[in-house]
Chains A and B, each alone.
Chain A
């Protein structure tokens, strides 16, 4: 409920802003003609803007607090909107149909540019789902994740340059190499957790990038590798349009496979061990879970998806150099996971689509693009700290023993 008090507060804020911005927004001194120009209309604009923004902000915060209070008082299970819609068949089936039609029709309806943007977004979906295993499920904050992405991309590029390995051969090889690197990184960081782990992984990511940048004989240094072939389709000659469409469907397939595998891993003995590790490391070990193996498997499996994403990335852009694998890239992937909702598969997909598509479509406001991006991120963290789609993990519900009816109550 908005009271007079709130309006007063907002009014005060706007006055304060008008006062603060007065010297730079209102007074304009012309030093040549020695005149002062008073631009009062600007002051009005600042005042009005600050008033409205402050009002909206207060309103949103209040709504959020009210929601929190409701959740505390009310005992009804508040399932977030999207999972609720998904569990309702009336919405689920048509929704699924519409999604499938949209996904299939996309490259034929939209331009080459749009398809390319979508491919990038799909790569981030796959890579984000991989990182979701490490960060969302096992709770290991990995800031050097892009290193595995680089391993995948460079393994295809280098194998192709030296041995003429094709895309389809390189995909499993890139994945396997990334898996191996995941284990290699995993060993030294087994004892670490939290902030310390983040710093070490950050260092690892930088090491890989610096090696690629400076070891000219091995990786062709900063000049990178060009003319990487696009994936072939039974040796057919594909035009640019066709091959882009092909990569698009390839990525759709890879994303579906990733979702399938990650879901199954999540609901397995291993997935449970990851979650237990996230919850309490000491108790997890005391319950007979091998911490070393569990952590390594999380790192290695997470890295595998990054490796595959990297191979596709190299094939898609046909040119890679170390600047594609900076820390910024790691941060974006991490943002995808955190923004979407840690541990939630749907969340990661939505997060990747938003984070990759938004900056592309905000190009119209190119100067303010990063500003808007930043504002959206901050707003997200204030109003939905659990991510866009917070994790409603499928828990093991007990529905009765064998043919016995559900047996609740002691």
Chain B
């Protein structure tokens, strides 16, 4: 299988602190990959580096779209990264609170459209068609994610689980081929987590999107992922399928600590 995201030797220093230390990671087409590790291991920093929010100190990041040449992500602005087909969600929900659910998704469509100031003022037919198209596309996206019941609600009035799903819908509206989910199940109950599990698999299958996710819910991670990367103190300590990770001594040590009297 072809790789869609390739990260090699990614290093990020904050002053004297090395948050990421030569991380290698690869996501292949149609895969669900999990990135796990104890709190403060550098997972979110990793996301911020590859999506252009931080500029990494060292290393290489590459996106490989199905068609066209690979895109080097180093130094790209966040909006360019999204334009090139990698979208993300946030650990602490960052919806546009005072916009409706539909409008939130419409913002996701923004980078795929081009009408400018003259189009906005004079509204030629092409512009009207485009606007109509955005609304319809956005609604279809909400249908896929199962949020149509909230279509005209303000994002801030949504229940927590729905807000998480709306973030996913908004990210998908940018037409990515790889989706980064930062703790999608955080704060969800067992039922919601189960639904999320189904949703993620469905997205992967229906939208042909590869998924890289950070998650602390081990049950979810083990049932979802094709492969798992484990980081601790900015270093990659393990990589492999769920079964291998479960029994990896280094992983157990990172999570549970070492026995003193061995």
Is B120 touching A268 in the complex (CB atoms < 8 A)?
yes
B interface, size bucket: 35 or more
Given contacts A285-B79, A286-B78, A410-B146, contact A264 B96 (CB under 8 A): no
Q: Is A89 an interface residue (CB 8 A)?
A: no
Which residues 248-297 in A have Cβ within 8 Å of B in the complex? 261, 264-265, 268-273, 275-276, 279-280, 282-291, 297
Shortest Cβ distance from residue A148 to the other chain B in the assembled complex, whole angstroms: 17
Q: Is B115 an interface residue (CB 8 A)?
A: yes
Is B102 touching A270 in the complex (CB atoms < 8 A)?
no
A interface, size bucket: 35 or more
Is A282 touching B107 in the complex (CB atoms < 8 A)?
no
Q: Is B208 an interface residue (CB 8 A)?
A: no
Shortest Cβ distance from residue B144 to the other chain A in the assembled complex, whole angstroms: 12
Shortest Cβ distance from residue A296 to the other chain B in the assembled complex, whole angstroms: 11
Stretch at the interface among A163-171, A208-216, A369-377, A400-408: A400-408
Shortest Cβ distance from residue A213 to the other chain B in the assembled complex, whole angstroms: 34
Given contacts A270-B116, A409-B148, contact A286 B135 (CB under 8 A): no
Stretch at the interface among B2-10, B57-65, B87-95, B223-231: B87-95
A261 to B94 alpha-carbon distance, docked (Å)? 30
Given contacts A264-B121, A268-B120, A287-B170, contact A282 B149 (CB under 8 A): no
> Chain A residue with minimal CB distance to B171?
A287
A207 to B106 alpha-carbon distance, docked (Å)? 40
Query: Which of A268, A287, A395 gathers most chain B CB within 10 Å?
Result: A287
A279 to B97 alpha-carbon distance, docked (Å)? 7
Is A398 touching B174 in the complex (CB atoms < 8 A)?
no
Q: Is A396 an interface residue (CB 8 A)?
A: yes
Q: Which of A287, A301, A401, A407 contacts B110 (CB 8 A)?
A: A287
Residues of B within 8 A of A272 (CB): 99, 103, 106-107, 110
Interface residues of B (CB under 8 A from A): 51, 53, 77-79, 82-83, 87-88, 90, 94-100, 102-103, 106-108, 110-113, 115-117, 119-121, 123, 127, 130-131, 134-136, 139-140, 146-149, 151-152, 170-171, 174
Interface residues of A (CB under 8 A from B): 261, 264-265, 268-273, 275-276, 279-280, 282-291, 297, 301, 395-398, 401-402, 407-410
Top 6 nearest A-B pairs by Cβ distance? A288-B111, A268-B120, A288-B82, A283-B94, A279-B96, A285-B78
